[in-house]
């Protein structure tokens, strides 16, 4: 019987952490609206912004050959200026990129791109074959072509004639990726590659594995939660010492949470190391931190709750330490109660004390009203 209770305690501890991860995945990683809200602050992260800037700069200067176009636009009598010209062009581009990345317009472009990529990724994981951003080789991509178009507009606006006679009209809000590519190709006279402005976020050689994992997770989240509840209830029903079992349940959940999330942190660090380029690794690490923030917060709540339950169960027991803590707490409580009674007696003989006694009910109601109003008006954390 004791051994069986021990097995149920282990199942409850592991199931609690698995349920936490499953619920987080269902509500965040596998829900498009929630995922978009989660990654909304990513472009404002310094590491992510640096990686995006490097990527967009590469697209501008390698694919569209911006620096050569600026040289060609330079008059013959200013050809001696070719040396510092490349640095000036880069400064123009960098200023335009930073301005666009910090703009409300890019936030809309970013959210739209993330929403499209995430929705298509989920469709692929469900076994569908959606058209559009998912290309024939099975990749799901983040499309930043609209942002690149805005950056080029700003570069042209900062220096009229800077890129020759190139002019870019404003884009329609509903412009498709094909329309953007055709406009850029026509204006710059280049044949843009199929992956221009794209960041691959999902590749076909991982789609089947991820699809199996998603379907497995979706099938077993509810079952895991039910099994966890039954394991905890069964452990308490069969226990010969329920206080001790409650202590074990609390400690088991805390230990399982700590171990699982330590392992996950190591795994994420190892995966980030596979990313090429220092800027990209820093961006991947920042992205993993932002996406997993809700999961980490939930883990902390579970860990602290487990420890509190374990401490409460221990303090309720016959141990020497628990007995000492209870005695000291009782003595302090009695002392505080005595001081409060003495203060109340002293206050009752005053005009203020008599007024409080007369209006006690009104003061209680007023206190509740004031607390409720403060709760509505004052900005506060969930804690």
Q: Is 197 left (phi over 0), alpha (psi -120 to 50) or beta?
A: left
- Report whether 305 contacts 249 (CB < 8 A): no
d(CA 42, CA 85): 33
Query: pLDDT tens digits for 246-256?
Result: 999 999 999 99
Residue that wins the pLDDT comparison between 140 and 148: 148
Condensed to tens digits (0 to 9), the pLDDT of residues 257-298 reads 888 888 878 877 777 777 777 777 787 787 777 777 788 888
pLDDT digits (tens, 9 = 90+) for 54-113: 777 777 766 666 666 666 655 554 444 444 555 666 666 667 777 777 777 777 777 777
Q: What does the pLDDT read at residue 98? A: 72
Rounded CA-CA distance 40/81 in Å is 42
For the segment 109-120, what is each residue's pLDDT rounded down to a tens digit?
Answer: 777 777 777 777
| 0.85 exceeded by pTM | no
- The pLDDT score that the predictor gives to residue 367 is 92
Dihedral class, residue 161 (left if φ above 0, else alpha if ψ from -120 to 50, else beta): left
What are 29's two structure tokens? 């990683």
Checking if the pLDDT of 352 tops 60, the result is: yes
pLDDT of 175 reads 65
Q: At what angle do helices 145-158 and 177-188 cross, to 10 degrees?
A: 40
Within the chain, residue ranges assigned H as helices are 2-24, 32-39, 46-58, 66-72, 82-101, 104-125, 145-158, 177-188, 204-238, 242-273, 278-291, 293-315, 320-348, 351-358, 360-377
The one-character DSSP state at 172 is P
| 3-class secondary-structure state, position 170 | coil
3 state DSSP class of 52 = helix
Q: Is 94 helix (H, G, I), strand (E, B) or coil?
A: helix
């Amino acid at each position: 019987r004791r051994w069986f209770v021990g097995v149920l305690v282990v199942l409850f501890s592991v199931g609690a952490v698995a349920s936490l991860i499953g619920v987080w995945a269902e509500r965040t990683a596998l829900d498009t609206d929630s995922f978009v809200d989660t990654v909304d602050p990513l472009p404002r992260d310094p590491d992510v912004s640096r990686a995006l800037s490097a990527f967009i700069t590469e697209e501008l200067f390698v694919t569209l050959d911006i620096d050569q176009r600026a040289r060609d636009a330079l008059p013959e009598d200013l050809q001696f200026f070719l040396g510092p010209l490349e640095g000036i062009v880069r400064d123009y581009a960098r200023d335009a990129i930073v301005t666009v990345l910090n703009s409300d317009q890019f936030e809309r472009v970013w959210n739209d791109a993330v929403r499209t990529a995430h929705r298509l990724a989920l469709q692929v994981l469900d076994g569908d074959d959606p058209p559009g951003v998912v290309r024939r080789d099975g990749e799901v991509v983040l499309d930043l072509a609209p942002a690149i178009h805005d950056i080029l507009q700003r570069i042209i606006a900062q220096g009229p004639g800077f890129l020759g006679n190139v002019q870019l009209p404003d884009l329609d809000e509903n412009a498709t990726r094909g329309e953007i590519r055709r406009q850029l190709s026509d204006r710059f006279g280049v044949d843009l590659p199929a992956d221009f402005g794209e960041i691959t976020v999902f590749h076909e050689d991982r789609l089947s594995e991820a699809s199996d994992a998603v379907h497995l997770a979706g099938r077993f989240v509810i079952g895991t939660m039910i099994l966890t509840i039954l394991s905890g209830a069964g452990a308490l029903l069969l226990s010969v010492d329920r206080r001790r079992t409650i202590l074990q349940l609390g400690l088991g959940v805390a230990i399982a949470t700590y171990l699982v999330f330590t392992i996950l942190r190591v795994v994420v660090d190892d995966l980030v190391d596979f990313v090429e380029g220092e800027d990209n690794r820093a961006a991947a690490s920042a992205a993993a931190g932002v996406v997993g923030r809700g999961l980490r917060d939930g883990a902390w709540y579970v860990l602290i709750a487990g420890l509190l339950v374990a401490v409460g169960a221990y303090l309720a027991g016959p141990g020497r330490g628990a007995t000492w803590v209870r005695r000291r707490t009782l003595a302090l409580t009695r002392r505080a109660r005595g001081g409060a009674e003495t203060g109340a007696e002293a206050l009752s003989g005053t005009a203020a004390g008599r007024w409080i006694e007369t209006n006690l009910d009104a003061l209680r109601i007023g206190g509740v009203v004031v607390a409720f109003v403060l709760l509505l008006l004052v900005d506060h954390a969930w804690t």
